[in-house]
Amino acid sequence: MTDPDGLADKRAKWQRYFEGRLTGSDAEIRAATDAAMDAIRRRADVNGVIEAGLAAARQFRATGSAPTPPAAPPRTQSTAAPRVPTSAPRAASRGPVGTASSGIVNGFQQRQEMIGRTYFTVWNFRLERSDEAGRPLPAIPVEMKGRYFNGAISNGDLVDVGRSFTPGKLVRTNRVRNATVGVDVSAVGRQFRVLRGVFIAIFVVIALCIFGLIISVMLDIQSFDLPDPQLPE
């Protein structure tokens, strides 16, 4: 008969262990060995096996009989609790995103542009919006231009341009409200001020040229020598 678990070899080893530790009769050693093997079947550790054997030996000395090993509890077939069908969760309503003048920043781009002899920083982005059902609304294209900016804007920020959007038109503005961080973002150094300075400079140059031309003509007239009138004979 085969012994795949090696229980016979284990029993012999534990019997020799208790023979060296106990001083009682062979029946006491056999009771300790039986208890140790029962503990092994219950997958007890080494200390648990030793304690079970010594407890059986003490009981044998006290009562003259080996303890009855505890009966294994009857195996019952577990039955899974019936699954209660649950309805699929409804998708939460997203609600509207943005208003007639605000939305979520997307497609943010920054570039440099020279006006006159001054470099300007240009921001271009669009504000994405949707209605209560989550359907997309026309995006608001925005352009801001300045020599530098106070504040910052990033994709995903909720931004308000401060005025209603007309579909098909680019919103050019120098100030917006970043509602995500709660600050106003402004472009400093407006374009028309630079152009106004250029126009004024051109006007002054033209005016000086005209004034110089007039002075030159007047001097030429004054220095022109008229012929002496002939006296009658």
- Residue 45's domain comprises 7-63
Q: Specify the CATH number for the domain of residue 169.
A: 2.40.50
- For residues 21 and 46, give the distance between their C-alpha atoms in angstroms, rounded to a whole number: 15
pLDDT value of position 184: 95
Residue 230 lies in a domain: no
Question: Is 174 part of a structural domain of the chain?
Answer: yes
Question: What is the side-by-side order of every strand in the sheet holding 171-172?
Answer: 148-150, 183-188, 175-178, 158-160, 102-115, 118-130, 136-146, 171-172
What is the C-alpha to C-alpha distance for residues 151 and 185, in angstroms, rounded to an integer?
5
User: Is 75 a domain residue?
Assistant: no
User: Is residue 19 a part of any domain in this protein?
Assistant: yes
15, 42, 63 - which closes a domain: 63
Where does residue 96 rank: exposed (0-12), middle (13-18), buried (19+ CB within 10 A)?
A: middle
DSSP state of 65: S
For residue 146, give the nearest of 187, 108, 193 by alpha carbon. Answer: 187
Measured CA to CA, the distance from residue 154 to residue 147 in angstroms comes to 19
For residues 124 and 173, state if they share a domain: yes
Rounded Cα–Cα distance for residues 138 and 135 (Å): 10
For position 102, what pLDDT does the model report?
92
What pLDDT is attached to residue 44? 84
pLDDT of residue 133: 85
The β-bridge relationship of strands 102-115 and 171-172 is unpaired
Is residue 26 one of the residues assigned to a domain? yes
Number of H helices, E strands in the chain: 4, 8
Domain count, the chain: 2
pLDDT per residue over 1-43, tens digit each?
A: 566 667 888 888 888 888 887 877 888 889 889 988 998 888 8
217 within domain boundaries: no
Q: Are residues 177 and 124 in the same domain?
A: yes
Residues in a beta bridge with 175 = 186
Assigned domain for 70 exists: no
Q: Is 132 inside any structural domain? A: yes
CA angle 126, 130, 136 (to 5 degrees): 80
pLDDT, mean of each 10-residue run, the chain (233 residues): 72 84 84 89 85 86 68 51 51 69 94 88 95 90 94 93 88 94 89 59 80 77 58 50
